[in-house]
Structure 1
Amino acid sequence: MTSASVDFTMRRATRDDLGALVAMLADDALGARRESPDDLTPYETAFTHIADDPHQHLMVAEHEGRIIGTLQLTLIPGLSRKGSTRALIEAVRVHSSARGTGLGTRLIEWAIEESRRQDCALVQLTSDATRTDAHRFYERLGFEASHVGFKLSLHSAS
């Protein structure tokens, strides 16, 4: 899978995809510290919440029956910006076998187009401060580093 134009189908994730999705989330130094691909129990609960929420779009890119990419697009209705809805892109991952094929770009382009289709006024995303390669990638796609983000962990590290 070295072509810059790998063919894939974009579809909503199903419960059967969880193992592949969690494996992709864990497939880097940061994810390896915070994900548990050997125990899908907490992910099954999260999947139920995501599947039941019409504002959540947990998507997979599938190629020849294999999941090679994923992202989650969340629609957030709000009062600011004259009552606009914004879209939040999270958990973008490309399987190691598909990196360098242009799939990441095509996933983000899909999310932007879906956000337009959903009449969102703004698309935003967050990226861990340590993911400098990802930051350059998002900037190449037109995103601007415009805000400073803060997080407060409500659970102890496990």
Structure 2
Amino acid sequence: MEDLEIRVAAAHDVPAIVGMLTDDPLGAQRESPDDLGPYLAALERLSADPNQHLVVAVHKDRVVGTLQLTIVPGLSRRGSTRSIIEGVRIHADERGSGLGTRLIEWAIGESRRQGCQLVQLTSDNTRTDAHQFYERLGFSASHVGFKLAL
């Protein structure tokens, strides 16, 4: 993938992003590609926040991957800043091509550029292939995560 471009997501990318979010059993249950309104509103909020970076990977004029990188200043760890990687998705046609590695490497590099001392992410318990992928990239399963739906 020599001509891969990683850039900030725009409104015209939202249908492709939502398509990737729905392209697995978990996403199919919680996403709604028939109504893009909430996604476009979320993109506006993200775009207005300098600590949010929603990016797409584009290959041959087609969106083939996405992720969200959030920069979180904090007091713990001697006032360190961390980043959180969320919503990593690769188009089904591109899985196994190295694109996921390129996106995560971009996120790590951007985290360093932003002065982060730690990069973290979560992955659903059922995504065992993703867990192996992240471990190959140097991440360790060091914490137990909890969520509360509101």
Structure 1 residues 2-151: aligned runs within 5 Å: 5=1, 7-151=3-147
Kept after mapping to 2: 8 A contact 1:72/1:92: yes
**Residues in 1 aligned to 2:15 and 2:101: alpha-carbon distance in whole angstroms:** 24
Query: Percent identity among equivalent residues?
Result: 67
> Normalization by structure 2: what TM-score?
0.98
Unaligned runs of 5+ in 2: none
Between Structure 1 and Structure 2, how many residues are aligned? 150
**Residues in 1 aligned to 2:27 and 2:2: alpha-carbon distance in whole angstroms:** 25
**Residues in 1 aligned to 2:34 and 2:102: alpha-carbon distance in whole angstroms:** 30
Q: Deviations over 1:80-137 (max 9, x none)?
A: 1111110000000000111110000111011001101111000000001110110000
Runs of 4+ in 1 over 6 A off after TM superposition: none
Kept after mapping to 2: 8 A contact 1:6/1:103: no
Q: What is the aligned-residue RMSD (CA, Å)?
A: 0.8
Write the letter of the residue equivalent to 1:88: I
**Residues in 2 aligned to 1:28 and 1:42: alpha-carbon distance in whole angstroms:** 20
**Residues in 2 aligned to 1:41 and 1:88: alpha-carbon distance in whole angstroms:** 25
**Residues in 2 aligned to 1:75 and 1:137: alpha-carbon distance in whole angstroms:** 22
Offset, 1:6: 5.1
